[in-house]
Amino acid sequence: MVTTTTNLIVRYAETDAQGVVHHANYLVWFEEARSDFLRQQGLAYSDMERDGFYVVVSEVAATYRAPAFYEDRICIETTLAKARSRLLEFTYRIRNSDAKLLVEGRTRHIVVGADKRPVSLPKPVLEKLLAARP
């Protein structure tokens, strides 16, 4: 199974007055890591959207294990857990520079067309995604 890594440094704007990352920012980081995962597979959301395919979030789950702080260097491990013609599911593990697990998460996505109705991904896109799985 392909797992990619995306590295970020926690920005001041992502924290509260105590320098702790606000919980909503982890969802933004999931999105950044997911986009990076696709780029590493030779795909890009922008290309898919230009072709009329939109991957929309249908479900999110996150389990917070420990906080991240201002200027922490974090690593987001992203894995494509499921790939079907109309459904994608990614899992995430966010760690700090000491390899401490901070957050585990999952997102599910439905593929829709310009009319916002479910559609199947084009075969070449699905094949690239399936190549990233066992």
User: Catalytic residue numbers?
Assistant: 16
108 closest CA partner among 48, 57, 61? 57
Backbone dihedral region for residue 99 (phi beyond 0: left; psi -120 to 50: alpha; all else: beta): left
Q: If 0-12 CB within 10 Å is exposed, 13-18 middle and 19+ buried, where does residue 116 land?
A: exposed
